[in-house]
Chain A
């Protein structure tokens, strides 16, 4: 418990730093977009309109510290201002729409590649030197060396455009999100398969290799010899002893993977016009929608932090050795 509390304190601090950087960074760059826009209109508008425009963009003459405190308060209340490209919709509403889809795509692809990779790696190590072990790692590394967007474009062209097996974009067929009945879920899944498959293909290699190497290390440990000497069934030796401990390094990697997948996911979403955060971010960038961008950066950072904290907590449950506080 002490260990988790310590980790939590660390993540709260990291989140605070992220929020602070997110506030100061745009204000340190000369010529922020709002004042540029205001400047272009400053000759053609009367004083009242100009003041209204400034207020709408949140341009004030308050001291920076005052602004920072206001910003902190707003962030805590979940208020990120109004989106410029979807004016006057609040940023949170725009993000809220994409957030769910990104989480769905992200969780599906990370969990799929984690489970698939660990299984493949375990099999490769268990039958070390067999044809499966010789074939799997190079093939997966070859796939993993493709950039996300390239593989995404390729798969999109073949499966969505040429063969027409999967829909060409969006997360559902109708105009509004479908109801959560059988047909609706099926429709969502059909839209999910192609982008998720892309991410899984690219990120599968490291999972498999890490699992394979961890397994090979564990397989030479004395407790595996002992498990065999005890006359346990091979399946039990594999699952209860070898996989159970070899999985631990992969779980640590899970936290880092969430961050990596997020960046890859942005590109994948754009190629498949999947209505997640990545797609929102692209639109925000092309529309110079700074409030939206800023909020997106923050949300992505906080999500990665949250995922890492979750993994740390999970690790404490799975490895009793870290519970003592890291000294042993």
Chain B
């Protein structure tokens, strides 16, 4: 039985039916996973890796069609059998964990009910209880009666993993399970998964864009591009040498911290800082009688940012860093304390008058949601230029073209009439930057501007932000949970924890010699460590 691979895929081809016939998404892909092996499938968005994940359990919905090949899970043919037979095999032979932990669980059912539903699919031989499943993934069985929204993102994903293990399948497919979570939670979840794997012996197919993560957890790596697997290799060999140029490109694309040159303190503009906050506090759910608050998102933060400076505000999810960014841009009003942007208090959008200067502009994380899909790129930018305070409004087109050139979208004419869905994620974020620059801001607030983008273009966008700072002197508040990109781009790093800034200093100094436990935890959770040039000796399991 040990000889039967947990998963065997031979010449799998999958396409999506469109108006002009079937567009191939996966092209004659073959690979197998041995029993108990941890396999990583790496690639960028659109390469077909999630399509493979869906095909394995035959979950692909129209217009997706499996056009050829064979899939066997632990010897069971998944493609030639009828729907009822396949349904009986699902979850018992292989289970899947999806990316979005928030929507993976039914919002109106208690988790005990949902775990029991999975257990009911099995024979009584397995004989686990929902409480045992929760204990397996280190969640207090007292939470059995909780609803999904009462758990954190990490806890929800643990519940789904527990559910995936309910019937002790031979294979678990993890489709970007931690992409929406911060690095600390990601690390904790994989520690649990690896421990359970040692104990129960299931095989794992981890689908991700994060090669350093695979180096830490996987036994073998397959790299995918445009529907094909370009390279498959055991992790130790892959780390030393990548056969395919694309694998190399993918690996070197991720930003790294260069410790060879120390951070230099920028000459601070003495006149006045671009951003200054004093005892800034934002509390939610404050009881007017007792004065006690349900949540203090930002707690007594005093912070300065000089013009032309890039400061990274780093913290785990829920640390209050995004709330801070929203206060700075005037999207949220503080409960108490002062905030001055370019010497003025930020005005809420609803009360802003047409020609009031807008010193701070926001760059958003969600490149798909932050541009109205109905309008062209030209429309978005023209609107931003026209509504910008001051300046010359006679040559709107010229200004729009100049903005597009600044963010590297040339020739500009070819972008004006396109709509957001015709652009890649990276191009959309460039449009987002151009839109923010239209008002000639003194400060850009960039809240996780690259976390939704593919690894290979993250560095380009970060470089663009750095260049805009150099050329235009705009200061940047870069909000992120990713200390590596913070170290890559920022002059200074401020670490936020539970609403307070617990550590602040020159970027590389903070990363090389972290003082606060929280900073150390954020750094330690980064897969592969801070710099890949000097790889930490990771025990290959």
Contacts and interface: CB of A to CB of B under 8 A. Distances in A.
Interface of A: 221-223, 225-233, 240-241, 244-245, 248, 318-321, 324, 327-328
Contacts of B121: 230-232
Given A231-B91, A320-B147, A222 B103 contact: yes
A226 B96 CA distance: 7
Interface of B: 54, 57, 59, 87-92, 95-96, 98-100, 103-110, 117-118, 121, 147, 149-150, 160, 163, 284-285, 294
Closest 7 CB pairs of A and B: A231-B90, A320-B147, A222-B103, A222-B104, A231-B91, A230-B91, A222-B98
Contacts of A240: 106, 109, 117
A205 to B, nearest CB: 26
B133 to A, nearest CB: 14
A3 to B, nearest CB: 14
Contacts of A222: 98-100, 103-104
A226 B160 contact: yes
A231 B89 contact: yes
A229 B59 contact: yes
Given A231-B92, A321-B147, A327-B285, A225 B108 contact: no
Contact of B108 (A230, A232, A319, A324): A319
A230 B160 contact: no
Contacts of A227: 106
A226 B121 CA distance: 13
A226 B98 contact: yes
Given A228-B59, A248-B108, A328-B149, A223 B91 contact: no
A223 B54 CA distance: 14
8 contacts: A222-B103, A223-B104, A229-B59, A231-B92, A240-B106, A240-B109, A244-B109, A321-B147
Contacts of B106: 223, 227, 240-241, 244-245
A1 B307 CA distance: 52
Nearest to B118: A230
Best-surrounded residue of B88, B99, B104 (most CB of chain A within 10 A): B104
Contacts of B104: 222-223, 226
B117 A230 contact: yes
A228 B59 CA distance: 7
Contact of B105 (A223, A228, A232, A244): A223
Contacts of A241: 106
Contacts of B88: 231
Contact of B57 (A223, A229, A248, A318): A229
Given A221-B103, A327-B285, A229 B108 contact: no
Contact of B96 (A221, A223, A229, A248): A229
Contacts of A328: 149
B398 to A, nearest CB: 43
Best-surrounded residue of A318, A319, A320 (most CB of chain B within 10 A): A320
B149 A321 contact: yes
B98 A245 contact: no
A231 B110 CA distance: 20
A231 to B, nearest CB: 3
A228 B284 CA distance: 39
A244 B108 CA distance: 8
A226 B99 CA distance: 11
B19 to A, nearest CB: 16
